[in-house]
Each structure stands twice: as C-alpha cells, then as structure tokens.
C-alpha cells in the first residue's frame, strides 16, 4: 500500500496548530494537514486567524488553510490573510452541512452554485497564485447533485476535489456511499479525486480501497483523531498491538498537553483544550478508561501530566 497519499481532514475544535505540530513531529504518516475553516464573521473579521499565523515554516508546505466563504468578496477577505501568512495552497469548503452555515450560502449550499465556485477558484488562482482544491459532499439533500455540479463546473482538468459521499442533510448518519464516489471518478476521469469518509482502521481502509481500485489519495478525519497512528499504519500495512498503541497514545497525549500549555497564556483555557483533545484520543481505548476519567476530573495541566506519567510507567 506504499504510494497512498493521506490528507488529515479539518476537524473544528481538534485539528488546530498545536495538534498538527505534535502529530506531524511524533506520529507522521500524513502528507497534508488542513486547518479548520476560516470564515468572515458578522463584524467583518476573519475567525481563527491565529491558527494559520502560528504554523511553523517547515509545516507550511504541508498545511492547507480552508476557507468557508459565501461569495467572491468573502473569499478575497480570507485569502488576503492566507497569502500574507505565506501559504501556497488553499481549500474551499463546499461541504459544511449545518443549516446555520448553509442558510448563509456557505458550505454545502455552494454545491448548487458551480459557476460561483468557478469564479472563486479563478480569483484565487489569478490574484494570489494559489493552488486550489475543493472539499465537498455529494449534495445538499440529494446525492445526484454532485453530477450536476461536475457537469456545470467549467475547469475540470486536474482540479482536485475531496469528496465525502454523504449528503448534507445526513450530517454524519448512515454510511458514506463509496459506490457514488466510484461513479464520479468513472464519469469525470480528468478530475483528481480524493476519497473521504468512514476510514477508521486499516481493515475499513482495505474494504473501501477494494471498491476503488487505483485510488491513492485519501482524506481521514475522525479515524485519525481516534487513532493518530492510523496514517502510519495504513502506509505500513500493519495495525499496532494494543499495548504499543496505548503506550503511543500516552506519549502523544503528554506531548500534546505540553504543546497546548506552551502555546496558551490562559491556564484555564489550556486545561479545557487538553481535556477536549484527550477525551477524543482515549475514547476507544478500553483499558485506559479509568485513567481517561481521572484526566477529565483534573483541576490543572500539571495534574493531567502526572496522571499520564504514572500511566507510562505501567
């Protein structure tokens, strides 16, 4: 399976700069990281700028900021900041499923507006020289919407599209429709498709890969949060033993807590961030359930660190 390219999906609230730093340094296996989406707030300011401003130089060529705009003007407002921060690649969000977002013409609402999306892409290329990818669902309510979008989208040759084959109204329910992804790939071979959805283990990866022969580009979100070694495991075709995985998770957690603490001047905020990240990290690790509970009850980052230190000595 060498040759697979793995993209770490943006997950708002989790895959922030601290997480990406520790993940790339400690576990790796990921070719590209995406920032959680950047959007223009009601006051005209761009949300989450700190996340891209703090990306280290070595990680910049592997980090792709994501925009969640409703129109060309918003795209430009966000792109100005991204260009100033020194990035070369950007990703447009055409997938966010929440009505609060789609009602404002953002996220999955753009699946119905291929010509507007083309204008955004043209502007990002012409005005900033960015390389632009799209991240989308198959539709807002109907999974055939993707075909209409692709029929009407003018510049398909070489366009990278990360497709999560669920419709927005499903949110995360049901299964990703791998066959629908396969049909898109077959009908539009000139497009550079990246598969996204429901890869949670080496075995689920193998099942999906068997339906999509030749597919080498994959985006993984929740599966990597629950097992940060998954990209490495997929590339090396081996699942870690339970014990090795536990030791790895504890070591990863220690680095993550230290990085969060170092990047934050607010102790309470750092403690809450650490608890959120570690709750997800240990969610499926049955044998560390008691330790995970103690972490959630901790009153300081130092307390979390000493719980993790104890666990790593076992």
Ligand X SMILES: Cc1cc2nc3c(=O)[nH]c(=O)nc-3n(C[C@H](O)[C@H](O)[C@H](O)COP(=O)(O)O)c2cc1C
DSSP 174: S
The CA distance from 314 to 307, in Å, is: 11
Phi, psi (degrees; rounded to nearest 5) at 170: -75, -20
Query: What is the bridge-based pairing of β-strands 217-220 and 192-196?
Result: parallel
For the bound state, the minimum distance from the C-beta of residue 297 to ligand X, rounded and expressed in Å, comes to: 24
Longest CA pairwise span in the chain (Å): 59
Q: Which residue stretch of 184-192, 214-222, 228-236, 252-260 sits at the interface with ligand X (rule: CB under 6 A)?
A: 214-222
7 in contact with ligand X (CB under 6 A): no
Burial of 227 (0-12, 13-18, 19+ CB in 10 A): buried
**Which one of 223, 234, 261, 270 is in contact with ligand X (CB under 6 A)?**
223
Choose between 228 and 254: whose C-beta lies nearer to ligand X.
228
254 in contact with ligand X (CB under 6 A): no
For the bound state, the minimum distance from the C-beta of residue 243 to ligand X, rounded and expressed in Å, comes to: 26
Burial of 83 (0-12, 13-18, 19+ CB in 10 A): middle
Number of C-alpha atoms within 13 angstroms, CB side, residue 19? 26
Choose between 191 and 291: whose C-beta lies nearer to ligand X.
191
For the bound state, the minimum distance from the C-beta of residue 279 to ligand X, rounded and expressed in Å, comes to: 13
Choose between 113 and 222: whose C-beta lies nearer to ligand X.
222
For the bound state, the minimum distance from the C-beta of residue 296 to ligand X, rounded and expressed in Å, comes to: 18
Q: Which residue stretch of 74-82, 217-225, 282-290, 297-305 sits at the interface with ligand X (rule: CB under 6 A)?
A: 217-225
Residues with Cβ within 8 Å of residue 18, at least 6 apart in sequence: 256, 259, 260, 263, 273
Q: Which two tokens stand for residue 301?
A: 């980052």
**Which one of 29, 95, 139, 228 is in contact with ligand X (CB under 6 A)?**
95
Residue count of the chain, please give it: 314
**Which one of 9, 132, 208, 288 is in contact with ligand X (CB under 6 A)?**
9
262 in contact with ligand X (CB under 6 A): no
Give me the sheet containing 5-8, strands edge to edge: 63-64, 32-34, 5-8, 217-220, 192-196, 160-167, 131-139, 89-94, 66-67
For residues 96 to 115, the per-residue mask of contacts with ligand X, x marking binding by CB under 6 A and - elsewhere, is --------------------
37 in contact with ligand X (CB under 6 A): yes
Choose between 10 and 291: whose C-beta lies nearer to ligand X.
10
Cα angle value 248/250/252 (rounded, 5°):
65
Closest CA to 275 of 285, 265, 283: 283
For the bound state, the minimum distance from the C-beta of residue 107 to ligand X, rounded and expressed in Å, comes to: 8
Contact 173, 139 (CB under 8 A): no
Closest residue to ligand X in the complex (CB): 221
Choose between 194 and 311: whose C-beta lies nearer to ligand X.
194
For residues 173 to 212, the per-residue mask of contacts with ligand X, x marking binding by CB under 6 A and - elsewhere, is -----------------------xxxx-------------
The CA distance from 280 to 224, in Å, is: 10
Count of residues in contact with ligand X, rule CB under 6 A: 20
By CB under 6 A, name the binding residues for ligand X.
9-13, 36-37, 66, 93, 95, 135, 164, 196-199, 220-223
């Amino acid at each position: 399976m060498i040759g697979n390219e793995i993209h770490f999906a943006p997950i708002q609230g989790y895959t922030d700069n601290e997480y990406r730093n520790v993940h790339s340094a400690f576990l790796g296996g990921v070719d590209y990281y995406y920032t959680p989406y950047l959007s223009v707030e009601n006051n005209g300011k761009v949300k989450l700028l700190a996340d891209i401003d703090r990306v280290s130089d070595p990680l910049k060529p592997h980090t792709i900021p994501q925009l969640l705009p409703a129109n060309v003007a918003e795209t430009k407002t966000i792109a100005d900041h991204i260009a100033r921060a020194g990035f070369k690649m950007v990703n447009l969000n055409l997938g966010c499923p929440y009505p609060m977002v789609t009602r404002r013409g953002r996220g999955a609402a753009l699946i119905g507006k291929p010509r507007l999306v083309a204008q955004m892409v043209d502007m990002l290329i012409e005005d900033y020289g960015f390389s632009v990818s799209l991240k989308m669902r198959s539709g807002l309510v109907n999974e055939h919407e993707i075909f209409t979008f692709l029929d009407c989208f003018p510049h398909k040759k070489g366009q990278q599209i990360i497709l999560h084959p669920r419709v927005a109204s499903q949110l995360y329910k049901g299964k990703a429709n791998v066959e629908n992804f396969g049909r898109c790939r077959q009908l539009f071979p000139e497009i550079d498709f990246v598969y996204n959805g429901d890869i949670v283990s080496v075995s689920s990866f193998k099942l999906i890969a068997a339906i999509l022969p030749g597919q080498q580009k994959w985006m993984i979100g929740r599966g990597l949060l629950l097992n940060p070694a998954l990209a490495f495991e997929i590339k090396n075709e081996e699942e870690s033993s339970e014990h090795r995985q536990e030791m790895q998770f504890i070591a990863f957690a220690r680095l993550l807590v230290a990085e969060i603490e170092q990047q934050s001047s607010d102790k309470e905020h750092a403690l809450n961030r650490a608890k959120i990240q570690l709750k997800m990290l240990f969610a499926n690790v049955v044998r560390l359930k008691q330790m995970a509970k103690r972490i959630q009850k901790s009153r300081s980052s130092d307390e979390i660190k000493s719980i993790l230190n104890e666990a790593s000595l076992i």
